[in-house]
Structure 1
Amino acid sequence: MKIKSYKKIKGNEYELILDNDVKVRLYDDLIIKHELLLKKEITKDRLTKIVVANDNLHAYYLALKFLGKKMRSTMEIKNYLQKKEFDQKIIEETINKLIKENYLNNQKFMESYINDQFNLTYNGPEKIKQNLIKLGINEDQIVINKDFSEKIKTLISKKIKLNHKLSTNALKQNITTYLIGLGYRKEDFIDELDNIKSNDKSLIKKDYEKIMKKYQNKYDSFQLKMKVKEKLYQKGYTPDLINEWIEENL
């Protein structure tokens, strides 16, 4: 086969036009390496090998561009190249090359990810750990040596301000659900939780009045008392406080 002409496409890619009007896209690295500017003749087998080498180079350049945006895990690069429909062998060779050249390093990626999560988010250690596992980091390799105590205090303080109308128990449950959802373990914040106290006697008066207004004309005295107890208990008041309040007011 003869090479009729070259056409620059973009960046460092060129299109080779053969005498049978077949068009082949190649990087200039390979054009120079194989002296295709000088040798106008090329066999089918040789062209096939060059095209395979070009696919490898294309995967490598795409991976570098993807890595240029931010650090990535090995799994992220693998998934990215799979979406680009590269052959598995090419993906493995590309990843090995990137690791060898230190563009890919799961340990450094993990450390960077933990620092970013700690400094830029309110995510707790368990959520960070699970995110890293999803990104292909082995659980046994994950070590998070960060002090989350100040973050926990800040989060609890915000939740108290937003939910100041909740009873002590309801507020604690609300905060517990919220912090566990963010990836904190209960033992991480149990001491802070124990220090939380709402003005339950003031709050129960308002809730009691709302409940009475809603149900006092729907039940007889005994059923009304049971309904009021049920609703106050659902709001997180202790049985002792509920009984005390009902005895004094109902």
Structure 2
Amino acid sequence: MQITKIEQGKKRQDRANVYIDGEFAFAIYLDILVRHGLVKGQDIGEDRINQIIREDELGKAYDRALRFLGYRMRSEKEVRDKLKEKEYQDFVIDEVIERLKKNKFINDSQFADSWVRDRTNLKPTGKKMLELELKQKGISESIIINVLSRIDKEDEFELAQKLASKRKFEDLAPEVRKKKITDYLLRRGFGWDVIKEILKEESVNE
């Protein structure tokens, strides 16, 4: 088999179309073309073609992952799920993930820190909710324990107290008010230990 034509892509100028024996064979990134030294008139075997196509598939998957990471920080699971959604093969996904880790584009510890910080600033929730959200993002148990251990119990209590006070439960009967506060704080991801302290304070203030 012989390369009979190489032309730059019309829509994407970072890619090249390669023709073999007069017919379009494949499209690849220009850097792969240069790295393999492909030129018109060159003989090429099937094994080498497969190797080049494999490298190009990795390049496309890596670019897709970088675009996905461009919107906000992502967990490893989020990136894996996105690439699976685009139907990349498992070995391609594994190699892309390793490359992203090596280049420090994904780091689950940093992601967990950022997630907790952003949630605290933008939409405060209790540790139980944060734990659930991080698990859904595929964060390991050890990382979750580490990042949530930095949240002081007193700070969480004050946050729950502040959120509950905004709900205007003061005019309700005591038992109704306590139930409303309990249900609300449970929905916001606070644990029973925090809620009990809030209810204890409510009883003192009755």
TM-score, length basis structure 2: 0.86
Given candidates 162, 177, 180, the residue that maps to 2:186 is 180
CA distance in 1, matches of 2:118, 2:82: 22
Q: Which has the larger radius of gyration?
A: 1
Alignment-derived partner of residue 150 in structure 1: 158
**Contact 2:5 2:40 survives alignment (8 Å):** no
SS class of match (1:58):
helix
SS class of match (2:44):
coil
Instruction: Letter of the 2:133 partner, please give it.
Output: N
**Contact 2:3 2:42 survives alignment (8 Å):** yes
**Contact 1:3 1:41 survives alignment (8 Å):** no
Task: Confirm whether residue 94 of structure 1 aligns to residue 102 of structure 2.
Answer: no
Q: How many residues matched?
A: 197
**Contact 2:16 2:27 survives alignment (8 Å):** yes
Instruction: Deviation per CA, 1:142-179: give whole Å up to 9, x if none.
Output: 131222233212211112x2x34421111111110110
Alignment-derived partner of residue 6 in structure 2: 5
Question: Taking every aligned residue pair, what percent have the same amino acid on both sides?
Answer: 28
Instruction: Letter of the 2:199 partner, please give it.
Output: L
**Contact 1:153 1:192 survives alignment (8 Å):** yes
How do 1:161-200 residues align onto structure 2 when only pairs under 5 Å count?
A: 161=168, 163-196=169-202
Change (3 A) 1:3 1:48: farther
Residue 11 of structure 1: CA displacement?
A: 5.0
Alignment-derived partner of residue 45 in structure 2: 43
Larger mean Cα displacement after TM superposition, 22-31 or 6-15 = 6-15
**Contact 2:3 2:39 survives alignment (8 Å):** no
Residue 183 of structure 1: CA displacement?
A: 0.7
How do 1:218-229 residues align onto structure 2 when only pairs under 5 Å count?
A: none
Instruction: Deviation per CA, 1:96-131: give whole Å up to 9, x if none.
Output: 111122212111111111111111112211111111
CA distance in 2, matches of 1:11, 1:195: 67
Alignment-derived partner of residue 114 in structure 1: 116
Alignment-derived partner of residue 141 in structure 2: 139
CA distance in 1, matches of 2:8, 2:42: 15
The one of the two structures with greater contact order (alpha-carbon pairs below 8 A, sep at least 6) is: 2
Instruction: Letter of the 1:50 partner, please give it.
Output: I
CA distance in 2, matches of 1:112, 1:122: 13
Given candidates 32, 49, 53, the residue that maps to 1:30 is 32
Residue 193 of structure 1: CA displacement?
A: 2.1
